[in-house]
Amino acid sequence: MILQTIWFFLWGLLWAIFFMTDGFDFGVGTLYPYLGKSEEDKRSMINSIGPFWDGNEVWLITAGGVTFAAFPKVYAVMFSSLYTPLLFILFALILRGVAFEFRGQIENPGWKRIWDLCIFIGSFVPAILFGVAFANIFRGIPFDGQGVYHGNILMLLNPYGILGGLLFLLLFMLHGANWLAMKTGGDLHARVTALAEKIWLALVPVAVIFLIASAFATRLYDNYVANPGLALVIVIAVVSLLMVKFYLSKKDYFKSWCASALTIVSCTFFGIIGLFPVLFPSLIDSQYHLTAFNDSSSPMTLTIMLGVVVIFIPIVIGYQIWTYRLFSGHLTKEEMEY
């Protein structure tokens, strides 16, 4: 049971890291049509995430790979039940990557407008659909004991699912705005900092409503009631969100970005801790729940994988830290040329 518990929280951690890192990419792309008033603005926004976005998506591949290797039935049922939204996410991510590469190949306004739209779609769609998907996982998915999904995509667009999508979208937009505030200057910087304040004001009531709605739509609070000390993660989420506002007012945008990153991680773990030990709950009957204990790979597989993770994950983290330090600070004129 210890190995299964470790892998359950590693699974959650990998998703949290993905949302924290690629979240600001999604946020920048979603804000792109609203803040990109000129070609220089657009180049600044694209170049601000240029060295990072593809490396950040490694965490999505890692999270999916861990799901497949450690909890194979969860992987099978999750990808069959959520097939349509996950396919939309995949197409959107492909579209975004192609847009980054193709946009600057031809100096033609019409050509660039097409890829500008693709950058927005490729950022907005994953941001909102990841929220919809995870909110529905928190709520429960209607699948039976054979793992067969009894529903359609419209069932995922329930009020709680849509609320989760809106929450993720605003979290990522705030995260992206903080990133741009760190990386840009001039008129773009002034507009993005003003917009960050407005996004924060919109995010707070949505986050509060989501926390309240979770008490009625899910069983997430059962673990918190049984172990009140776990509520520390909720406290961290609330405090970190307040610190975003505090650091924005102090014009300390690096700390504001770190606070928004912590908000995303703690919000993710609010759901992960609330789910434990269930990875994929069934809305039809609790006996069909897929948990860390009834759907894990063999102890030998989990042990070998743990050794691989202990060796290679720190290397990946170290490389990303080096990359972030190398490209830290405001965009330079040299960087703007690419």
Q: Which CATH class is domain 2-301?
A: mainly alpha
pLDDT of residue 310: 87
Q: Per-residue pLDDT tens for 257-301?
A: 999 999 999 999 999 999 999 999 999 988 999 999 888 888 898
- DSSP 3-state of 130: helix
Q: Measure the CA–CA gap between 23 and 25, rounded to whole angstroms.
A: 5
Q: Measure the CA–CA gap between 185 and 78, rounded to whole angstroms.
A: 43
The answer to whether 263 and 244 are in contact (CB under 8 A) is yes
**H or E stretch including 280?**
strand 278-280
pLDDT band at 337 (very low <50, low <70, confident <90, very high): low
Average pLDDT over every residue of 313-327: 84
Give Cα separations from 248 to 116, 185, 201, 264 (angstroms).
Answer: 28, 15, 12, 17
Instruction: Return the residue matching tokens 């909102």.
Output: 128
The answer to whether 45 and 248 are in contact (CB under 8 A) is no
**Cβ contacts of 181 within 8 Å, gap of 6 or more:** 189, 192, 193, 196, 248, 253, 256, 257
For the chain, the residue count is: 338
Helices (H) and strands (E) in the chain, counts: 15, 2
Q: Measure the CA–CA gap between 312 and 170, rounded to whole angstroms.
A: 32
Q: Per-residue pLDDT tens for 170-226?
A: 999 999 999 999 988 889 999 999 999 999 999 999 999 999 999 999 999 999 999
pLDDT of residue 185: 85
pLDDT of residue 51: 83
More confidently predicted of 129 and 317: 129
Instruction: Enumerate the domain spans of the chain.
Output: 2-301
Give Cα separations from 47 to 130, 202, 253 (angstroms).
Answer: 25, 27, 18
**H or E stretch including 259?**
helix 253-275
Q: Per-residue pLDDT tens for 156-172?
A: 899 999 999 999 999 99
- DSSP 3-state of 107: coil
Cβ-count burial 290-303 (b if 16+ within 10 Å, e if not): bbbeebbbeeeebe
The closest alpha carbon to 138, from 146, 147, 130, belongs to: 130
pTM here is: 0.93
